[in-house]
Structure 1
């Protein structure tokens, strides 16, 4: 089974971390929640508390099979920290899947490779991605096979998003 790293900090969109995490774990995958330090409680926009598994300095591409980036205000906070940007870029340039929803793709803008991506995001983030050169589509789930990138727009898309990420890891 796969080992997935989920990068998040305070003010993540609760359902966009919890729902995919539970879906992945329910089929036998492992999900590590990573933030600045290990064993820290991070809190979602709606009060959900999650304890981090590892700190970002201990998270390495080689240790994981896929990356999950939930939305909320978390991605905007993380994108000012080069450690998260570098890890995200490394995943996008690898042959490993990247799963993101809602505001999660904001993190891609700092990677310098947004112009190579096909994806979707929350309505207000879509123009930012277009200005950064991305091929943006407005659909429940967008799959960029070249970068093994699966993206969705909002919590309403979670059932389709979760099904797509489970299917991708089954290959």
Structure 2
């Protein structure tokens, strides 16, 4: 059975922050499952890419997945208003399971209440929010804290994707 990686995503995702890690994971043999409020829904990225949602948040359990990816853009800010997505993310943080977030992705972490003392990075405007929530924020391409991998911007995608693969294959 193919191991699955969950992706919490909705409209206005930063296109390449979804397509690049997704392609990297699929090349490595993982099944990437896009999760939103409803299955088969079409969402549109900030740059116009259309994505089809694979599963509804109501039809999946976090323990069905080996890892979670949260791409950036305006998607995470919308998802963090829905407790179902917060709880899904919280499961990975509480259990120290592989969790990958880039750009605005770590905004979802703030809602979990589990950022205190965790080392991470994000897009510049989110870094202060994370610091206020108690995170140890670093302005680096990739920050790894146990099984939590965070990154800043699309420019950091090569390092981010490498860190994802390294963590999953070690």
Under a length normalisation based on structure 2, what TM-score does the superposition of the two structures give? 0.97
Partner of 1:149: 148
**Unmatched 5+ residue regions in structure 2?**
none
1:170 matched to 2:169: yes
- Number of aligned residue pairs: give it: 169
RMSD between aligned alpha carbons?
0.8
Partner of 1:24: 25
Aligned 8 A contact 2:96 2:148 in 1? no
Aligned 8 A contact 1:2 1:66 in 2? no
Q: What does the per-residue CA deviation read over 1:41-65, in whole Å, with 9 as the maximum and x for residues that have no partner?
A: 1110000111011000112111000
Structure 1 segments, 4+ long, off by >4 Å, are none
**Unmatched 5+ residue regions in structure 1?**
none
Q: CA deviation at 1:129?
A: 0.4
Under a length normalisation based on structure 1, what TM-score does the superposition of the two structures give? 0.97
Partner of 1:55: 56
1:114 matched to 2:112: no
1:125 matched to 2:126: yes
Q: CA deviation at 1:2?
A: 2.9
Q: CA deviation at 1:125?
A: 0.5
SS in 2 for 1:108: helix
Alpha-carbon separation, structure 1, partners of 2:76 and 2:96? 22
Partner of 2:44: 43
Q: What does the per-residue CA deviation read over 1:116-155, in whole Å, with 9 as the maximum and x for residues that have no partner?
A: 321000001000000111010010000001xx10000000
